[in-house]
Amino acid sequence: MDRQHSASSTSPTDPEQAARQDYDVIVVGGGSAGCVLAARLTQDAGVRVLLLEAGAATADLPEFVAHPPAWPTLGETSANWGDLTVAQHSGSPLHGPGPRVMLPRGKGLGGSSAINAMVFARGHRTGYDSWGDHGAKGWTFDDLLPYFQRTETAVGGAPGRGTGGPLTVAPTAEPNEVLLACLDGAIETGQRRAHDISGGLEEGFAPVDLNIVDGRRQSAADAYLTPVLGRPNLDVVTGATAHRLLFDGQRCTGVEYGVDGRVVTVRAAHEVVLTAGTIGSAHLLLRSGIGPERELREAGVELFHALPGVGRNLHDHPLVNLVLRARRTVPAPRGNHGEIIGLLRSTPELDGPDLQILFADLPFPNPVAPVDNGFSIGVSPLRPYSRGTLRITSADPYAPPVLDPGYFTDERDIRAVLSGIETARAIARSAAVAAWGAEEVAPGPDVTDAEALALYARTGLMSYCHPVGTCALGEDEVSVVDSTLRVRGLEGLRVADGSVIPSIPSNNTNATVYAIAERAAEFVTRSQT
């Protein structure tokens, strides 16, 4: 059977056939990182790779996945796992608990790159300075730069950008007029106009690079996986939920997974690499008895390897929106809705930007009142101090984990977001934006004191969909993976996705995940020689 054709089916490779094969590497998770690993490792024809993905093949995802303006609706489809956090901290005993927050993550080949907002930005270089705080070596921005470059063909050729990677990235050629007005308003109010806000070296406001090619989304599956599905040394099984990892002594030797009501066991002669994302990879480790001893025993899971950092350090970018009604009709979106961003500092003494301002050509849902014709100015604290946890309640692979990102539990994040709201309001009052007849609906012009704005932030937030940190990188006792992404204390097992990020950088994290995966492929290849 032709491999390219078979990739459109629910299971490109028959699971029973896969169980009879001898694989060198098994990659668990077919999202951004998994697609990179599958493509790079199989460049060596002598390395047999199996890629397991719990969701659907690309052709079986909702057809509007490829339509850039449709991304806000994808969280309601089978392409999303449908995770919700526990009730978050409202900060007010009188208000009661805060909201449960949707935490979208992709389910299907391409993972979150198939449902995200397609922003492709490295974040400012200073956002990586703390990655070595727990002893990790070789993970500065400069260390990652060759891998960032390896991922991309950056249209426009700005200094330091890649020219031959699988992903074709560029700002939109014609941003929505209302977003250009917001950009003009930012410059009018004294903000810097950046040249390449996606490259990692600048602060200020500018159109951001997007994973959109010829008007269609370009996911990791499109860029990395689909072109290599014909390789005879690559098998892909979709609809495959990993149940647990298998070990011989301290060496990981395979994976047990479920597909179509069957339980299948596959073996890896060399390595198993987890690329199931910040939620999926930690979830699988915990179900396999790898994690904090007390929590595992409370969940009824037998301890295999004590590793207290698994599931700890969960954090994310919260997004708080200034929602504006417009008297002038906002043009229909052509791109991803959020085509222009700003990176700035909440206080001038910081060493780099800790806020993102996002201009969006749609009025995000808000707790105050619905808006039919309008737009949003989003504010996100990019280097949050707040931390949370991922826990399990049983070894059942189909039971969702308990997710608590702990949004705004650290007051420093509240101070940052209040600074961002002040900046957003200044832009909204500019002459350029006033020409659209903009009127603030949420939080509302009468909400001005810090306590009320803090309550709005805590109760009206959205996830910016950038969870990281549950299998953090480092060399100390709280770290889960070492400097080469090996799970500490075990052999033949790595994690290579957003879960290893110890401290979230100042970006929409997909570009960083691609770079991590490119570097992981190099680690795995070197270890086999």
Nearest to 503, CA basis, from 478, 477, 529: 478
Residue with tokens 């990652």: 144
Provide φ and ψ at 496, rounded to 5°.
Answer: -145, 65
Q: Do residues 339 and 314 touch, judged by C-beta distance below 8 A?
A: no
Q: Do residues 163 and 155 touch, judged by C-beta distance below 8 A?
A: no
| Strands annotated E in 408-486 | 439-442, 462-463
CA atoms within 13 Å, Cβ hemisphere of 101: 29
Please list the alpha-helical segments (H only) found in 223-380: 277-287, 293-298
Q: At what angle do helices 177-188 and 411-428 cross, to 10 degrees?
A: 100
The catalytic position among 134, 315, 317, 466 is: 466
Provide φ and ψ at 385, rounded to 5°.
Answer: -90, -25
CA–CA distance, 216 with 95 (Å, rounded to integer): 43
- What are the structure tokens assigned to 190, written together? 């004294």
CA distances (Å), origin 42, targets 25, 227, 281: 10, 12, 22
Cis, peptide link before residue 443, omega less than 30° from 0: yes
Residue with tokens 């993102």: 356
Nearest to 84, CA basis, from 349, 279, 258: 279
CA–CA distance, 524 with 228 (Å, rounded to integer): 19
Active site (annotated) includes residue 466: yes
Say if strands 152-154 and 49-53 run parallel, antiparallel, or are unpaired.
Answer: unpaired
- In degrees, to the nearest 5, what angle opens at C-alpha 129 toward C-alphas 495 and 39? 35
| Active centre residues (catalytic) | 466
